[in-house]
A and B are shown apart, each in its own frame.
Chain A
Amino acid sequence: GAGVSQTPSNKVTEKGKYVELRCDPISGHTALYWYRQSLGQGPEFLIYFQGTGAADDSGLPNDRFFAVRPEGSVSTLKIQRTERGDSAVYLCASSLSFGPVGTGELFFGEGSRLTVL
């Protein structure tokens, strides 16, 4: 497809379980971002990748959260020992370029809704 694709669209899990959320960015976009959006709130930055490397992971809330982008395209957000407070919509976005070059427009996917029971 032409847009950012995220799977699964919905995930229900039990407290303490491990979860993986996948993001397939727009082809050719080198920058990839993960945001978390709680109900009624704006997206909150988690991490972004420039190519394969995590250029900024300062938004990850704790060491239970980890993300990878091994080939510079698809990314996976991994959450260990899930807690009820992790329940949110996890948004992935990609952009054509990073920094002052280009428009910097972020293209968001529809998100993965995570519910931790």
Chain B
Amino acid sequence: QQQVKQSPQSLIVQKGGISIINCAYENTAFDYFPWYQQFPGKGPALLIAIRPDVSEKKEGRFTISFNKSAKQFSLHIMDSQPGDSATYFCAASRTSGSRLTFGEGTQLTVNP
């Protein structure tokens, strides 16, 4: 009930391409879905977040798509850049600011 499944485990894209990372959750009580970006040796940093009352949220090159009936959400990175190379984690929680359940992470490499 508390798991968040993330795929793929690793992803390689060319500069300018689209990176897509998917997550699925089980607990229907979850109502806050953030994505975190983590660089080596650093702590995770919030990238973008969505609540289930909308199906899509866009901030710059980053878009979250949310499918409540399928209990799935995804991160799309448009025009991927080498500086986007990092590990991305999806997460979910019951209310904003309460304990987050993280996915296993996706290591993204953007080749120049």
Known: A95-B97, A104-B95. Contact between A42 and B43, CB under 8 A?
A: no
- Of residues B34, B45, B49, B96, which shows the largest number of chain A Cβ atoms within 10 Å of its Cβ? B96
Overall SS of chain B's interface? loop
Contacting pair A104 B43 (CB below 8 A): no
Contacting pair B97 A110 (CB below 8 A): no
Give chain B residues whose Cβ lies under 8 Å from the Cβ of A95.
Answer: 97
Q: Chain B: how many interface residues by the 8 Å CB criterion?
A: 24
Q: How far is the CB of B6 from chain A (nearest CB, A)?
A: 8
Contacting pair A31 B43 (CB below 8 A): no
Contacting pair A100 B95 (CB below 8 A): yes
Contacting pair B98 A99 (CB below 8 A): yes
Which of B14-22, B67-75, B100-108 participates in binding chain A? B100-108
Contacting pair B104 A42 (CB below 8 A): yes
Contacting pair A103 B96 (CB below 8 A): yes
B80-112 interface bits toward A, Cβ cutoff 8 Å, 1 = contact, 0 = none: 000000000101010111111111110000000
Contacting pair B102 A43 (CB below 8 A): yes
Other-chain residue from B43, B93, B103 in contact with A4 (beta carbon distance below 8 A): B43
B41 on interface, CB distance cutoff 8 Å: yes
B32 on interface, CB distance cutoff 8 Å: yes
B8 on interface, CB distance cutoff 8 Å: no
B29 on interface, CB distance cutoff 8 Å: no
Q: List 13 A-B contacts (CB under 8 A).
A: A31-B97, A33-B99, A41-B104, A45-B101, A91-B43, A91-B44, A99-B95, A99-B96, A104-B49, A104-B95, A104-B96, A106-B97, A108-B44
Binding site for A on B (CB under 8 A): 6, 32, 34, 41-46, 49, 89, 91, 93, 95-105
